Chains A and B, each alone.
Chain A
Amino acid sequence: MAEKFEPKIVAFLCNWCTYTGADLAGTSRIQYPPNVRIIRLMCSGSVDPTYVLKPLLDGVDGVLVGGCHPGDCHYQSGNYKARRRIIALKEIIKNAGFDEERVWLRWISASEGQRFAETVTKMTEFLREKGPNPMRQKWAV
Protein backbone atom coordinates (compact mmCIF):
# COMPACT_ATOMS: atom_id res chain seq x y z
CA MET A 1 0.00 0.00 0.00
CA ALA A 2 1.23 3.46 -0.94
CA GLU A 3 2.30 5.67 1.92
CA LYS A 4 -0.14 8.40 2.86
CA PHE A 5 0.86 11.73 1.31
CA GLU A 6 2.18 14.27 3.79
CA PRO A 7 3.06 17.66 2.30
CA LYS A 8 6.38 19.32 3.03
CA ILE A 9 6.38 23.07 3.56
CA VAL A 10 9.43 25.32 3.58
CA ALA A 11 8.78 28.54 5.52
CA PHE A 12 10.87 31.72 5.32
CA LEU A 13 10.00 33.73 8.41
CA CYS A 14 11.16 37.16 9.43
CA ASN A 15 13.12 37.37 12.64
CA TRP A 16 11.04 40.11 14.24
CA CYS A 17 7.44 38.99 13.73
CA THR A 18 6.57 35.65 12.21
CA TYR A 19 9.54 33.69 13.56
CA THR A 20 8.85 35.08 17.02
CA GLY A 21 5.15 34.21 16.47
CA ALA A 22 6.20 30.65 15.67
CA ASP A 23 8.32 30.65 18.80
CA LEU A 24 5.34 31.83 20.81
CA ALA A 25 3.23 29.01 19.36
CA GLY A 26 5.87 26.62 20.66
CA THR A 27 6.32 28.09 24.11
CA SER A 28 2.51 28.32 24.45
CA ARG A 29 2.31 24.58 23.62
CA ILE A 30 -0.03 25.26 20.67
CA GLN A 31 -0.19 22.18 18.45
CA TYR A 32 0.40 22.49 14.71
CA PRO A 33 1.36 19.97 12.00
CA PRO A 34 5.05 19.01 11.85
CA ASN A 35 5.04 19.46 8.05
CA VAL A 36 6.79 22.82 8.11
CA ARG A 37 10.57 23.40 7.96
CA ILE A 38 11.33 26.90 9.17
CA ILE A 39 14.15 29.08 7.91
CA ARG A 40 14.67 32.33 9.78
CA LEU A 41 15.60 35.49 7.89
CA MET A 42 15.98 39.01 9.17
CA CYS A 43 13.13 40.35 7.01
CA SER A 44 10.54 39.12 4.53
CA GLY A 45 12.00 41.81 2.28
CA SER A 46 15.21 39.80 2.08
CA VAL A 47 13.49 36.79 0.51
CA ASP A 48 14.95 36.61 -2.96
CA PRO A 49 12.66 34.84 -5.44
CA THR A 50 15.41 32.20 -5.83
CA TYR A 51 14.80 31.08 -2.25
CA VAL A 52 11.18 30.30 -3.09
CA LEU A 53 11.90 28.80 -6.50
CA LYS A 54 14.66 26.38 -5.50
CA PRO A 55 12.55 24.29 -3.08
CA LEU A 56 9.56 24.38 -5.44
CA LEU A 57 11.66 23.01 -8.29
CA ASP A 58 13.15 20.38 -5.98
CA GLY A 59 9.64 19.16 -5.21
CA VAL A 60 8.65 20.82 -1.94
CA ASP A 61 4.85 21.03 -1.80
CA GLY A 62 4.48 24.55 -0.49
CA VAL A 63 6.50 27.63 0.40
CA LEU A 64 5.33 30.00 3.12
CA VAL A 65 6.76 33.49 3.41
CA GLY A 66 5.95 35.15 6.74
CA GLY A 67 6.47 38.78 7.64
CA CYS A 68 5.26 41.58 9.88
CA HIS A 69 1.87 43.14 9.24
CA PRO A 70 1.99 46.20 6.95
CA GLY A 71 3.17 49.17 8.96
CA ASP A 72 5.00 47.00 11.48
CA CYS A 73 8.20 46.16 9.58
CA HIS A 74 11.28 46.42 11.77
CA TYR A 75 13.04 47.92 8.75
CA GLN A 76 10.11 50.22 7.87
CA SER A 77 9.31 48.91 4.40
CA GLY A 78 10.74 45.41 3.88
CA ASN A 79 7.34 43.75 3.96
CA TYR A 80 5.85 46.18 1.42
CA LYS A 81 8.67 45.26 -0.95
CA ALA A 82 8.19 41.56 -0.19
CA ARG A 83 4.52 41.95 -1.06
CA ARG A 84 5.30 43.27 -4.53
CA ARG A 85 8.04 40.70 -5.07
CA ILE A 86 5.79 37.76 -4.16
CA ILE A 87 2.95 39.12 -6.33
CA ALA A 88 5.39 39.31 -9.26
CA LEU A 89 6.76 35.84 -8.49
CA LYS A 90 3.31 34.27 -8.37
CA GLU A 91 2.36 35.90 -11.68
CA ILE A 92 5.59 34.68 -13.27
CA ILE A 93 5.41 31.07 -12.11
CA LYS A 94 1.71 30.89 -12.99
CA ASN A 95 2.59 31.88 -16.56
CA ALA A 96 5.57 29.51 -16.64
CA GLY A 97 3.41 26.47 -15.96
CA PHE A 98 3.58 26.21 -12.16
CA ASP A 99 0.86 26.16 -9.53
CA GLU A 100 1.19 29.55 -7.82
CA GLU A 101 -1.21 28.50 -5.06
CA ARG A 102 1.66 26.58 -3.49
CA VAL A 103 3.26 29.89 -2.50
CA TRP A 104 1.69 31.67 0.47
CA LEU A 105 2.54 35.08 1.87
CA ARG A 106 1.15 35.74 5.34
CA TRP A 107 1.54 38.56 7.84
CA ILE A 108 1.87 37.11 11.33
CA SER A 109 3.01 39.22 14.27
CA ALA A 110 5.17 38.21 17.22
CA SER A 111 2.07 37.97 19.42
CA GLU A 112 0.11 35.81 16.98
CA GLY A 113 1.29 32.33 17.96
CA GLN A 114 -2.26 31.09 17.47
CA ARG A 115 -2.43 32.60 13.97
CA PHE A 116 0.90 30.98 13.06
CA ALA A 117 -0.36 27.56 14.16
CA GLU A 118 -3.63 28.06 12.30
CA THR A 119 -1.80 29.17 9.14
CA VAL A 120 0.43 26.09 9.12
CA THR A 121 -2.59 23.86 9.82
CA LYS A 122 -4.58 25.45 6.99
CA MET A 123 -1.68 25.29 4.57
CA THR A 124 -0.98 21.64 5.40
CA GLU A 125 -4.63 20.72 4.87
CA PHE A 126 -4.77 22.75 1.66
CA LEU A 127 -1.70 20.95 0.28
CA ARG A 128 -2.94 17.52 1.40
CA GLU A 129 -6.03 18.25 -0.65
CA LYS A 130 -4.01 19.50 -3.61
CA GLY A 131 -1.65 16.55 -3.62
CA PRO A 132 2.09 16.31 -4.18
CA ASN A 133 4.00 18.93 -6.13
CA PRO A 134 4.37 17.50 -9.67
CA MET A 135 7.98 18.70 -9.60
CA ARG A 136 8.75 15.75 -7.29
CA GLN A 137 8.61 13.53 -10.37
CA LYS A 138 10.14 15.90 -12.90
CA TRP A 139 13.83 15.27 -13.33
CA ALA A 140 14.13 17.73 -16.24
CA VAL A 141 13.66 20.93 -14.25
Chain B
Amino acid sequence: MRTVIPVENGDALAAARGFLRQLLEAGVVEALLVPMETPSGTITPALVTDPDLLAAANPFAPVMGLNAARVVGHVSVREPRGKIGAVLRSCELRALVELVKLRQASLDDLVTIGVDCLGTYDVPVYVELHGQGQVDMAAYLATAQSGDLSPVEGYAFRDACEMCEKPQVENADIALELFGADLGAGIPITLSDELAEQLGFAPQEGDGRRAEVVEKVVAARTQVRDERFGDIRQRLDEEGIEGVFAACVRCHNCMTVCPICYCKTCLFKSPVFDHEPAQYMNWARRKGATRLPADTMLFHLTRLNHMVLSCIGCGMCTSACPTNLPVGRVFRAIGQQVQAVFEYVPGRDVEEPLPLVTFREDEWMEVGEE
Protein backbone atom coordinates (compact mmCIF):
# COMPACT_ATOMS: atom_id res chain seq x y z
CA MET B 1 0.00 0.00 0.00
CA ARG B 2 1.13 3.52 -0.74
CA THR B 3 0.49 6.16 1.86
CA VAL B 4 1.99 9.31 3.36
CA ILE B 5 3.45 10.03 6.79
CA PRO B 6 1.98 13.43 7.74
CA VAL B 7 4.56 16.15 8.43
CA GLU B 8 3.84 19.00 10.83
CA ASN B 9 5.51 22.43 10.74
CA GLY B 10 7.56 21.33 7.74
CA ASP B 11 9.71 19.10 9.98
CA ALA B 12 10.13 15.82 8.08
CA LEU B 13 12.80 14.57 10.47
CA ALA B 14 10.44 14.86 13.43
CA ALA B 15 7.75 13.06 11.42
CA ALA B 16 10.15 10.23 10.58
CA ARG B 17 11.15 9.94 14.24
CA GLY B 18 7.49 9.79 15.14
CA PHE B 19 6.94 7.04 12.59
CA LEU B 20 9.84 5.02 13.99
CA ARG B 21 8.45 5.50 17.49
CA GLN B 22 5.12 4.21 16.24
CA LEU B 23 6.81 1.05 14.91
CA LEU B 24 8.20 0.34 18.38
CA GLU B 25 5.08 1.26 20.30
CA ALA B 26 2.73 -0.67 18.04
CA GLY B 27 4.93 -3.73 18.54
CA VAL B 28 5.78 -4.06 14.85
CA VAL B 29 9.37 -4.46 16.02
CA GLU B 30 11.10 -4.88 19.37
CA ALA B 31 14.05 -2.74 18.44
CA LEU B 32 15.19 -0.42 15.69
CA LEU B 33 18.62 -0.39 14.13
CA VAL B 34 18.87 3.24 13.12
CA PRO B 35 21.49 5.97 12.63
CA MET B 36 21.68 7.99 15.86
CA GLU B 37 23.07 11.46 16.47
CA THR B 38 25.72 11.38 19.18
CA PRO B 39 26.46 14.28 21.55
CA SER B 40 29.80 14.81 19.78
CA GLY B 41 28.05 15.52 16.51
CA THR B 42 28.74 12.29 14.68
CA ILE B 43 26.29 9.65 13.61
CA THR B 44 26.46 5.98 14.49
CA PRO B 45 24.02 3.13 14.05
CA ALA B 46 22.50 1.84 17.27
CA LEU B 47 20.00 -0.80 18.23
CA VAL B 48 17.29 1.14 20.03
CA THR B 49 14.62 -0.31 22.30
CA ASP B 50 13.66 2.82 24.25
CA PRO B 51 11.22 4.92 22.19
CA ASP B 52 12.32 8.11 23.99
CA LEU B 53 15.86 7.70 22.65
CA LEU B 54 14.51 7.92 19.11
CA ALA B 55 14.61 11.69 19.59
CA ALA B 56 18.25 11.30 18.51
CA ALA B 57 17.49 9.04 15.54
CA ASN B 58 18.27 10.44 12.13
CA PRO B 59 17.24 8.11 9.31
CA PHE B 60 18.20 10.79 6.74
CA ALA B 61 21.63 11.72 8.10
CA PRO B 62 23.83 12.63 5.13
CA VAL B 63 26.86 10.74 6.33
CA MET B 64 28.11 7.20 5.92
CA GLY B 65 30.77 5.89 8.28
CA LEU B 66 30.03 2.27 7.59
CA ASN B 67 27.70 0.17 5.51
CA ALA B 68 25.09 -0.72 8.12
CA ALA B 69 24.32 -4.05 6.42
CA ARG B 70 27.37 -5.33 8.30
CA VAL B 71 25.81 -4.63 11.67
CA VAL B 72 22.42 -5.91 10.54
CA GLY B 73 24.33 -9.17 10.12
CA HIS B 74 25.55 -8.98 13.71
CA VAL B 75 22.03 -8.70 15.11
CA SER B 76 20.23 -11.06 12.73
CA VAL B 77 22.57 -13.86 11.73
CA ARG B 78 21.31 -16.52 14.12
CA GLU B 79 18.59 -17.35 16.60
CA PRO B 80 17.61 -16.40 19.21
CA ARG B 81 17.30 -12.85 17.97
CA GLY B 82 14.90 -9.97 18.32
CA LYS B 83 12.28 -8.74 15.89
CA ILE B 84 14.22 -5.82 14.50
CA GLY B 85 13.49 -2.96 12.16
CA ALA B 86 16.58 -1.86 10.25
CA VAL B 87 16.72 1.59 8.71
CA LEU B 88 18.91 1.33 5.62
CA ARG B 89 19.75 3.40 2.57
CA SER B 90 19.69 1.80 -0.86
CA CYS B 91 23.32 0.61 -1.01
CA GLU B 92 22.94 -0.87 2.46
CA LEU B 93 19.82 -2.76 1.38
CA ARG B 94 21.72 -4.17 -1.59
CA ALA B 95 24.63 -5.19 0.64
CA LEU B 96 22.17 -6.88 2.98
CA VAL B 97 20.80 -8.98 0.11
CA GLU B 98 24.33 -10.17 -0.69
CA LEU B 99 25.11 -10.87 2.98
CA VAL B 100 21.94 -12.96 3.29
CA LYS B 101 23.11 -15.04 0.31
CA LEU B 102 26.51 -15.36 1.96
CA ARG B 103 24.71 -16.53 5.12
CA GLN B 104 26.04 -13.62 7.16
CA ALA B 105 22.65 -12.05 7.83
CA SER B 106 19.04 -13.15 7.89
CA LEU B 107 15.80 -11.55 6.75
CA ASP B 108 13.79 -13.66 9.20
CA ASP B 109 12.31 -11.51 11.97
CA LEU B 110 13.70 -8.47 10.17
CA VAL B 111 11.68 -5.51 8.92
CA THR B 112 13.72 -3.50 6.43
CA ILE B 113 12.96 0.21 6.40
CA GLY B 114 14.52 1.58 3.23
CA VAL B 115 15.22 5.25 2.72
CA ASP B 116 15.91 6.89 -0.65
CA CYS B 117 19.43 8.28 -0.48
CA LEU B 118 20.11 11.91 -1.37
CA GLY B 119 23.89 11.53 -1.09
CA THR B 120 26.26 11.22 1.87
CA TYR B 121 29.42 12.90 3.14
CA ASP B 122 32.52 11.21 4.48
CA VAL B 123 32.63 11.31 8.27
CA PRO B 124 35.34 14.03 8.58
CA VAL B 125 33.41 16.25 6.14
CA TYR B 126 30.18 15.74 8.04
CA VAL B 127 31.86 16.47 11.37
CA GLU B 128 33.31 19.68 9.96
CA LEU B 129 29.96 20.76 8.53
CA HIS B 130 28.24 19.91 11.78
CA GLY B 131 30.84 21.86 13.78
CA GLN B 132 30.14 24.90 11.64
CA GLY B 133 26.40 24.49 12.08
CA GLN B 134 26.05 23.84 8.37
CA VAL B 135 24.11 20.59 8.52
CA ASP B 136 20.70 21.89 7.51
CA MET B 137 18.44 18.86 7.34
CA ALA B 138 15.48 20.79 5.93
CA ALA B 139 17.56 22.18 3.06
CA TYR B 140 19.08 18.76 2.38
CA LEU B 141 15.69 17.04 2.35
CA ALA B 142 14.29 19.76 0.11
CA THR B 143 16.62 18.59 -2.70
CA ALA B 144 14.59 15.37 -2.94
CA GLN B 145 11.67 17.08 -4.61
CA SER B 146 13.50 18.36 -7.67
CA GLY B 147 16.23 15.72 -7.72
CA ASP B 148 18.89 18.43 -7.95
CA LEU B 149 20.97 16.70 -5.32
CA SER B 150 23.77 18.94 -4.20
CA PRO B 151 26.14 19.09 -1.25
CA VAL B 152 26.75 22.20 0.83
CA GLU B 153 28.68 24.65 -1.31
CA GLY B 154 32.40 24.05 -1.15
CA TYR B 155 31.98 20.41 -0.09
CA ALA B 156 31.45 17.16 -1.95
CA PHE B 157 29.48 14.00 -1.39
CA ARG B 158 31.40 10.74 -1.18
CA ASP B 159 32.92 9.58 -4.46
CA ALA B 160 30.61 6.56 -4.54
CA CYS B 161 27.51 8.73 -4.01
CA GLU B 162 28.43 11.07 -6.84
CA MET B 163 28.36 8.12 -9.21
CA CYS B 164 25.58 6.10 -7.56
CA GLU B 165 23.01 5.12 -10.14
CA LYS B 166 20.80 3.26 -7.66
CA PRO B 167 19.94 5.79 -4.94
CA GLN B 168 16.29 4.76 -4.83
CA VAL B 169 14.91 2.06 -2.55
CA GLU B 170 13.70 -0.98 -4.45
CA ASN B 171 13.28 -3.89 -2.07
CA ALA B 172 12.25 -2.98 1.46
CA ASP B 173 9.37 -3.94 3.73
CA ILE B 174 8.77 -0.25 4.35
CA ALA B 175 10.11 2.21 1.77
CA LEU B 176 10.46 5.91 2.58
CA GLU B 177 10.22 7.33 -0.91
CA LEU B 178 11.82 10.73 -0.75
CA PHE B 179 12.41 11.39 -4.43
CA GLY B 180 9.92 13.75 -6.01
CA ALA B 181 8.16 14.47 -2.73
CA ASP B 182 7.54 17.74 -0.95
CA LEU B 183 8.89 16.45 2.34
CA GLY B 184 7.78 19.57 4.16
CA ALA B 185 4.23 18.34 3.60
CA GLY B 186 4.51 14.58 3.97
CA ILE B 187 6.77 11.56 3.50
CA PRO B 188 5.39 9.07 0.95
CA ILE B 189 5.85 5.45 1.99
CA THR B 190 5.11 2.01 0.59
CA LEU B 191 4.40 -0.84 2.97
CA SER B 192 2.33 -3.99 3.15
CA ASP B 193 -1.43 -3.66 3.71
CA GLU B 194 -1.06 -5.65 6.90
CA LEU B 195 1.55 -3.29 8.34
CA ALA B 196 -0.43 -0.25 7.23
CA GLU B 197 -3.49 -1.54 9.04
CA GLN B 198 -1.47 -2.27 12.19
CA LEU B 199 -0.15 1.31 12.13
CA GLY B 200 -3.48 2.86 11.21
CA PHE B 201 -2.57 4.16 7.74
CA ALA B 202 -5.15 4.54 4.97
CA PRO B 203 -4.06 4.46 1.32
CA GLN B 204 -2.99 7.82 0.00
CA GLU B 205 -1.24 8.49 -3.26
CA GLY B 206 1.67 10.91 -3.42
CA ASP B 207 1.86 13.32 -6.30
CA GLY B 208 3.37 10.60 -8.45
CA ARG B 209 6.54 12.45 -9.38
CA ARG B 210 8.94 9.91 -7.87
CA ALA B 211 9.57 7.88 -11.02
CA GLU B 212 10.31 10.99 -13.03
CA VAL B 213 12.71 12.43 -10.44
CA VAL B 214 14.43 9.07 -9.92
CA GLU B 215 14.96 8.86 -13.65
CA LYS B 216 16.54 12.31 -13.67
CA VAL B 217 18.87 11.54 -10.74
CA VAL B 218 19.86 8.18 -12.20
CA ALA B 219 20.64 9.71 -15.58
CA ALA B 220 22.86 12.39 -14.05
CA ARG B 221 24.67 9.92 -11.80
CA THR B 222 25.09 7.37 -14.59
CA GLN B 223 26.81 10.00 -16.69
CA VAL B 224 29.29 10.73 -13.88
CA ARG B 225 29.79 7.02 -13.34
CA ASP B 226 30.53 6.31 -16.96
CA GLU B 227 33.06 9.15 -17.15
CA ARG B 228 34.82 7.85 -14.04
CA PHE B 229 34.73 4.26 -15.27
CA GLY B 230 36.25 5.48 -18.53
CA ASP B 231 39.04 7.30 -16.69
CA ILE B 232 39.87 4.43 -14.39
CA ARG B 233 39.81 1.87 -17.21
CA GLN B 234 42.24 4.01 -19.15
CA ARG B 235 44.51 4.25 -16.12
CA LEU B 236 44.37 0.49 -15.53
CA ASP B 237 45.18 -0.04 -19.17
CA GLU B 238 48.12 2.35 -19.16
CA GLU B 239 49.55 1.90 -15.65
CA GLY B 240 48.26 -1.51 -14.63
CA ILE B 241 46.75 -2.17 -11.25
CA GLU B 242 50.23 -1.76 -9.72
CA GLY B 243 50.27 1.81 -11.01
CA VAL B 244 46.81 2.73 -9.81
CA PHE B 245 47.42 1.18 -6.38
CA ALA B 246 51.10 2.20 -6.17
CA ALA B 247 50.58 4.13 -2.93
CA CYS B 248 48.76 1.26 -1.15
CA VAL B 249 50.11 0.61 2.34
CA ARG B 250 48.13 -2.65 2.66
CA CYS B 251 46.37 -1.47 5.78
CA HIS B 252 43.36 -3.66 4.85
CA ASN B 253 40.95 -0.82 5.65
CA CYS B 254 39.12 -1.40 2.35
CA MET B 255 38.58 -5.00 3.33
CA THR B 256 37.60 -4.15 6.91
CA VAL B 257 34.86 -1.74 5.88
CA CYS B 258 33.67 -3.76 2.88
CA PRO B 259 30.23 -5.16 3.69
CA ILE B 260 30.87 -8.15 1.46
CA CYS B 261 34.33 -9.11 2.80
CA TYR B 262 33.13 -11.00 5.84
CA CYS B 263 35.61 -13.91 6.15
CA LYS B 264 36.86 -14.21 9.70
CA THR B 265 39.71 -16.40 8.53
CA CYS B 266 40.85 -14.18 5.67
CA LEU B 267 44.05 -15.46 4.12
CA PHE B 268 45.50 -11.96 4.26
CA LYS B 269 45.03 -11.77 8.03
CA SER B 270 46.83 -15.10 8.43
CA PRO B 271 50.57 -15.74 8.75
CA VAL B 272 50.68 -17.09 5.17
CA PHE B 273 52.25 -13.86 3.96
CA ASP B 274 54.69 -13.45 6.86
CA HIS B 275 57.67 -14.48 4.75
CA GLU B 276 61.16 -15.26 5.96
CA PRO B 277 63.63 -12.37 5.62
CA ALA B 278 65.65 -14.46 3.15
CA GLN B 279 62.58 -14.75 0.94
CA TYR B 280 62.40 -10.98 0.50
CA MET B 281 66.09 -11.04 -0.47
CA ASN B 282 65.34 -13.70 -3.09
CA TRP B 283 62.62 -11.56 -4.63
CA ALA B 284 64.77 -8.43 -4.50
CA ARG B 285 67.55 -10.28 -6.31
CA ARG B 286 65.26 -11.81 -8.89
CA LYS B 287 63.60 -8.55 -10.02
CA GLY B 288 66.31 -6.14 -8.86
CA ALA B 289 63.86 -4.73 -6.30
CA THR B 290 60.69 -5.86 -4.61
CA ARG B 291 57.85 -3.70 -3.40
CA LEU B 292 57.10 -3.64 0.32
CA PRO B 293 54.83 -4.46 1.96
CA ALA B 294 54.91 -7.51 -0.28
CA ASP B 295 51.90 -9.17 -1.89
CA THR B 296 49.99 -5.90 -2.14
CA MET B 297 48.68 -6.40 -5.67
CA LEU B 298 48.01 -10.03 -4.81
CA PHE B 299 45.81 -8.74 -2.00
CA HIS B 300 43.77 -6.48 -4.28
CA LEU B 301 43.49 -9.03 -7.08
CA THR B 302 42.45 -11.75 -4.67
CA ARG B 303 39.86 -9.50 -3.11
CA LEU B 304 38.56 -8.69 -6.58
CA ASN B 305 38.22 -12.41 -7.29
CA HIS B 306 36.58 -13.15 -3.98
CA MET B 307 34.03 -10.35 -3.72
CA VAL B 308 33.69 -8.23 -6.85
CA LEU B 309 30.70 -10.17 -8.18
CA SER B 310 28.84 -9.04 -5.07
CA CYS B 311 30.20 -5.47 -5.07
CA ILE B 312 27.17 -3.23 -4.63
CA GLY B 313 29.13 -0.01 -5.02
CA CYS B 314 28.77 1.58 -1.57
CA GLY B 315 32.33 2.90 -1.90
CA MET B 316 33.19 2.47 1.76
CA CYS B 317 36.58 1.19 0.54
CA THR B 318 37.37 4.56 -1.01
CA SER B 319 36.14 6.39 2.09
CA ALA B 320 38.36 4.27 4.34
CA CYS B 321 41.54 4.49 2.27
CA PRO B 322 44.26 6.45 4.10
CA THR B 323 46.05 7.24 0.83
CA ASN B 324 42.93 8.26 -1.11
CA LEU B 325 43.23 5.49 -3.67
CA PRO B 326 40.27 5.07 -6.05
CA VAL B 327 39.53 1.61 -4.66
CA GLY B 328 35.80 1.82 -5.21
CA ARG B 329 36.17 3.04 -8.77
CA VAL B 330 38.50 0.17 -9.65
CA PHE B 331 36.27 -2.41 -8.00
CA ARG B 332 33.08 -1.01 -9.53
CA ALA B 333 34.57 -0.64 -13.01
CA ILE B 334 35.96 -4.17 -13.01
CA GLY B 335 32.88 -5.47 -11.20
CA GLN B 336 30.63 -4.16 -13.94
CA GLN B 337 32.52 -6.25 -16.53
CA VAL B 338 32.58 -9.45 -14.49
CA GLN B 339 28.97 -9.13 -13.33
CA ALA B 340 27.96 -8.75 -16.98
CA VAL B 341 29.68 -12.04 -17.87
CA PHE B 342 27.46 -13.83 -15.35
CA GLU B 343 24.43 -11.58 -15.98
CA TYR B 344 24.44 -10.99 -12.25
CA VAL B 345 23.22 -7.86 -10.51
CA PRO B 346 24.31 -7.85 -6.86
CA GLY B 347 21.60 -6.80 -4.43
CA ARG B 348 18.81 -7.36 -6.94
CA ASP B 349 17.14 -10.47 -5.63
CA VAL B 350 17.78 -12.58 -2.58
CA GLU B 351 16.63 -15.67 -4.50
CA GLU B 352 19.23 -15.21 -7.23
CA PRO B 353 22.19 -17.52 -6.43
CA LEU B 354 25.72 -16.14 -6.14
CA PRO B 355 27.50 -16.80 -9.46
CA LEU B 356 30.42 -18.64 -7.90
CA VAL B 357 28.39 -21.06 -5.82
CA THR B 358 26.12 -22.16 -8.63
CA PHE B 359 26.66 -23.51 -12.16
CA ARG B 360 24.91 -25.07 -15.11
CA GLU B 361 26.33 -28.14 -16.75
CA ASP B 362 25.58 -26.85 -20.23
CA GLU B 363 27.30 -23.48 -20.01
CA TRP B 364 30.68 -22.48 -21.50
CA MET B 365 30.89 -25.94 -23.05
CA GLU B 366 33.84 -24.92 -25.24
CA VAL B 367 36.01 -23.86 -22.26
CA GLY B 368 38.69 -26.43 -21.38
CA GLU B 369 38.17 -28.54 -24.49
CA GLU B 370 40.69 -26.83 -26.80
Q: Bound pair: A and B?
A: yes
Chain B, 289-315, contact with A by CB distance < 8 Å: what is the 0/1 string? 111000111100110111011000000
Judge whether A77 and B359 touch: CB under 8 Å: yes
Within 8 A of A (CB), among B18-38: none
Judge whether B267 and A50 touch: CB under 8 Å: yes
Most buried by B among A54, A91, A137, A141: A141
Of the listed stretches A20-28, A29-37, A93-101, name the one at the interface; the rest are far from the partner chain: A93-101
Contact among A48, A54, A81, A92 with B338 in the assembled complex (CB-CB below 8 Å): A92
Query: How many residues on the B side are at the interface (Cβ–Cβ under 8 A)?
Result: 49
**Chain A residues, CB < 8 A from B286:** 59
**Chain B residues, CB < 8 A from A88:** 305, 309, 338, 341-342, 355-356
What distance in Å separates the Cβ of B95 from its nearest Cβ neighbour in chain A? 20
Judge whether B341 and A138 touch: CB under 8 Å: no
Known interface pairs A49-B306, A105-B368. Does A139 touch B333 (Cβ–Cβ under 8 Å)? no
Judge whether A95 and B337 touch: CB under 8 Å: yes
Judge whether B288 and A83 touch: CB under 8 Å: no
Contact among A79, A84, A141 with B356 in the assembled complex (CB-CB below 8 Å): A84
Binding site secondary structure of chain B: helix
Q: Is B287 an interface residue (CB 8 A)?
A: yes
**Which chain B residue lies CB-closest to A138?**
B242
**Chain A residues, CB < 8 A from B301:** 49, 53, 57, 92-93, 96
Q: Is B370 an interface residue (CB 8 A)?
A: yes
**Which chain B residue lies CB-closest to A54?**
B298
14 of the cross-chain contacts (CB-CB < 8 Å) are A49-B305, A49-B306, A53-B302, A58-B283, A70-B368, A81-B356, A84-B355, A92-B301, A92-B304, A97-B236, A97-B240, A139-B289, A140-B246, A141-B298
Interface residues of A, Cβ cutoff 8 Å to B? 48-50, 53-54, 57-59, 67, 69-71, 77, 79-81, 83-89, 91-93, 95-98, 105-107, 136-141
